[in-house]
Structure 1
């Protein structure tokens, strides 16, 4: 059951009330401005829906520039923590090559211990990502 949906350019935002998950799916690689605008739109929708569970489908988005990666880790996620003020779970669905980059360059351990109230998961299977979100909700 879709409660709220936004389709704009290369981004599709969907809040599924039945799963209590906000889905952010990229259709193609965004430029820096589109990327930042898309994530901020997702934050606004999450606040509106009071969603704590997010699924970022990054397979078509691909890797971002080092500047945008820094923006995500040092600006966006801290802003999410500040504005939401409650535990948030972010499943990131990536390609195998993107997973290898995250594992080797960013570090899975770094992301696992990323924030005080933000939990980040990296997955190559949508089924595993959704299962992690649902399990996180059950254990909350």
Structure 2
């Protein structure tokens, strides 16, 4: 189901998997960036059983510092206020972006870490989605397993 769509972004939801996918098609300015994420947040707040997220940045490269800062300082805390549980986020980068991150990795001391978000990074969207589906499958099994 399409949640939000612009020439720069597509936000969809896969109900059975409880998975929200944000695909960046063009580099957004800050207003569009915030607007896209806030539409996703509104949906998540209305569908609080959404624990699996995938953001595909392979078409746009890295986010700028202002975008990263807004996500960490404002957006992620709002997600937690809605869901109040752990979530899993897969981020998809292009091969060159991923190599640049690995080559130039430095631990960031300026951005707070969010204790409730478990990130994993990929260069292929299908691998990212499979990771999230495997997590969901494992958690579903844990929920229905009988206790001794």
TM interval, short-chain normalised = 0.7 to 0.9
Q: For residue 62 of structure 1, report the CA deviation from its aligned partner.
A: 1.9
Query: How many aligned residue pairs are there?
Result: 135
Write the mapping of 1:2-81 to structure 2, written as runs, cut at 5 A: 2=1, 4-50=2-48, 51-81=50-80
Q: Which has the larger radius of gyration?
A: 2
User: 2:3 touches 2:12 (CA, 8 Å); kept in 1?
Assistant: yes
Question: Is contact 2:3-2:39 (8 Å) kept?
Answer: no
Q: CA deviation at 1:107?
A: 4.9
Q: Which runs of 5+ in 2 are unaligned?
A: 140-148
CA contact (8 A) 2:4 2:39 kept: no
Q: TM-score, normalised by structure 2?
A: 0.78
Q: Structure 1 residues 105 and 41 mapped into 2: Cα distance closer, same or farther (>3 Å)? A: farther
Deviation at 1:35, TM superposition (A): 0.8
User: Which structure 1 segments of 5+ residues have no match?
Assistant: 109-113
Alpha-carbon distance in structure 1 between the residues aligned to 2:125 and 2:76: 22
Q: TM-score, normalised by structure 1?
A: 0.82
Please list the CA deviations of residues 39-87 of structure 1 after superposition, one character each: whole Å capped at 9, or x if unmatched: 1111112222331111111112321221222222222222222232111
Aligned residue for 2:5, secondary structure, equals strand
RMSD (Å), alpha carbons: 2.4
